[in-house]
Chains A and B, each alone.
Chain A
């Protein structure tokens, strides 16, 4: 039987960037996925690379380094990945949020970002079609975006060129192991053996790790979006509402999951508004989202209706645009807001790399860090606060 240097489970951006870095170094890599290429949140997102919610510290530094990698990615991977700056308008509808938004803008200004609080007339100049009714003002600032599908496909094709083997539609259902090492990953189509293993399964992480009797509290919010055909519309900016209902729902569901168990949490629903034009000119709007343990494959009709009504409210002229598709996808989160990144005790050859709230912005650096950890190289960050075993909840 073929033995690999590394078996990477999960073909999302974290798994792909890790597999790519290892294959580039000449390692024999197997990439395994239960579905197709990047079937989770890595390919179903709004393409934005945001520092939002990131406070000063290691995660901030990792994001800065990652943005530099994105800037060099077209050259590194040999193809345009749609990386560019994104002009953001974050509008505010109540006084309480205004105070919070000002604190946020102070933080970003201190850290060298261009950030402005703008009034109605400036807002109108920035985005003429926006219906400003009920808006108190807005934040105007610069972040970044890329084309997630192009990034995924670029990592994938380069890694394949470096000899990576690809096992799609091959669900990992457990591990062969002894007391300190993983000996193989058992899949629906047979066992795959490697010296080292990476679990980068996003929203599916908890399910897989439970087969080792380790309960990793990585849960998910299912976020929906719709896409309208291009033509006849033009947006200058990414527009979203400063109303952190989804973040609050995430916090609440994390607490409920720890208290009642994930399988027993009641269904929660949240609605926010974000709209942008993607790199192909299509209108993308998100997101109605919900928390429920069952993974849903189709967007509930009432979500589609609410998202459409939100577009109509903010941009009456876009009412004639035709919606052509929608998606809903589980987006992972961890109750303490930190990722899982490190070896999983007692297994010294099993690296968990998952649970990144801001995964898009951090992807390139994560692949590099994961490959360095597996190679036993020294890294310049202290990742101990990301320890996968920090919740120490053995079933």
Chain B
């Protein structure tokens, strides 16, 4: 891989851009996502998340990588506005 390799294909983010962000001090996947846009596209990181974790291990000199505690992001999978607009809590609980 070199700096021009695409890490996030949804948003066209390169290896070099992610590396720069980690070296500047972004130490959690959620921050790399917000500030480089890797993982911000349609797949929401389902494709690139592991690569990002690997890069964090490789380029962060911090011995601990903080857990991503704040980013519980619904929906788990993309859902259309129409489907979401008729969500019914009672039906969901029964299922």
Contacts and interface: CB of A to CB of B under 8 A. Distances in A.
Contact of B24 (A156, A297, A308, A326): A156
Contact of A302 (B24, B34, B89): B89
Interface residues of A, number: 39
Nearest to B26: A37
Contacts of A322: 42, 78-81
Interface string B59-86: 0000000100110111100111110111
Given A318-B81, A320-B82, A169 B27 contact: yes
Contact of B25 (A168, A229, A305, A326): A168
A323 B84 contact: yes
Interface of A: 35-39, 43, 149, 152-153, 156-157, 160, 166, 168-169, 228-229, 280, 297-299, 301-302, 304-305, 308-309, 311-312, 318-327
A327 B75 CA distance: 10
Interface in B23-64: 24-28, 30-31, 34-35, 37, 40-42, 44
Contacts of A37: 25-26, 31, 34-35
Contacts of A156: 24-25, 35
Contacts of A309: 85-86
Contact of A323 (B28, B34, B80, B89): B80
Contact of B87 (A169, A299, A304, A324): A304
Given A36-B28, A160-B24, A312 B44 contact: no
25 contacts: A36-B27, A152-B35, A156-B24, A156-B25, A168-B28, A168-B31, A168-B66, A169-B28, A280-B40, A298-B74, A304-B84, A305-B85, A305-B86, A308-B81, A308-B82, A318-B81, A321-B81, A322-B78, A322-B80, A323-B75, A323-B79, A323-B80, A325-B75, A326-B74, A326-B75
Contact of B66 (A36, A229, A297): A36
A320 B82 CA distance: 6
A36 B31 CA distance: 7
A28 B69 CA distance: 30
Contacts of A153: 35
B78 A301 contact: no
B37 A280 contact: yes
Contacts of B37: 280
Interface of B: 11, 24-28, 30-31, 34-35, 37, 40-42, 44, 66, 69-70, 72-75, 78-82, 84-87, 89, 92
B89 A312 contact: no
Contacts of B11: 280
Nearest to A311: B81
Given A157-B24, A298-B72, A305-B84, 18 more contacts: A35-B69, A36-B26, A36-B30, A36-B31, A152-B35, A156-B35, A160-B25, A297-B69, A305-B87, A311-B81, A312-B81, A312-B82, A320-B82, A321-B81, A323-B79, A324-B44, A326-B73, A326-B75
A297 B73 CA distance: 9
The 6 closest A-B pairs by CB, nearest first: A319-B82, A308-B84, A322-B78, A308-B85, A309-B85, A169-B66
Nearest to B25: A166
Contacts of B66: 36, 168-169
B70 A312 contact: no
A301 to B, nearest CB: 6
B35 A324 contact: no
A104 to B, nearest CB: 30
A298 B73 CA distance: 6
A228 B79 CA distance: 9
A129 to B, nearest CB: 13
Contacts of B89: 301-302
Nearest to A299: B74
Nearest to A319: B82
A312 B31 contact: no
Contacts of B24: 156-157, 160
A153 B20 CA distance: 12
Contacts of A327: 73
Contacts of B28: 36, 168-169
Nearest to B45: A325
Contacts of B30: 36
Contacts of B41: 229, 324
A299 B89 CA distance: 14
Given A39-B70, A305-B87, A319 B81 contact: yes
A288 B44 CA distance: 23
